[in-house]
Structure formats: C-alpha cells, structure tokens
Amino acid sequence: MSLIRWWCVRMKARWIEERLERIVYAGDDRDIEERYVSGRLVPKPFDAISGE
C-alpha cells in the first residue's frame, strides 16, 4: 500500500470516528432508546442504574 493510500485510509477512518463522537456528545439524552454496557442491553429505567 502506498503512503498516500495509507494516509487517505487513516484520515477517512479518523473522520468517521470524529463524526460519531460528535453525534454521541451533541445528542439529546431524550433521544436514547436503548443503552448497552459491554455489549449487553441495560434495562430501563436508566435513571436507577446510572444515578442520573
């Protein structure tokens, strides 16, 4: 793989990760329908578990 192609692949992966982080951090918690911890669904109510 050429250096330029490697760089483009890395930048695209980083760009996708940064967009996902923005969605997660800028999102409204009222839009959360399900929560997962270590791949397992956390039952509702979330408030009792997370201490919110």
Residue range of the domain that includes 25: 3-50
Q: What percent of the chain has pLDDT over 70?
A: 83
What pLDDT is recorded for position 46? Answer: 61
According to the per-residue pLDDT averaged within each range, which of 26-30, 36-40, 41-45, 47-51 is highest? 36-40
The number of folded domains in the chain is 1
Q: How far apart are the C-alpha atoms of 43 and 36, rounded to whole Å?
A: 9
CB atoms within 10 A of CB 21: 10
- Rounded to 5 degrees, φ, ψ at 33 are -100, -35
Q: What is the mean pLDDT of residues 4-16?
A: 78
pLDDT of residue 14 exceeding 80, the answer is no
The two tokens of residue 22 are: 């923005």
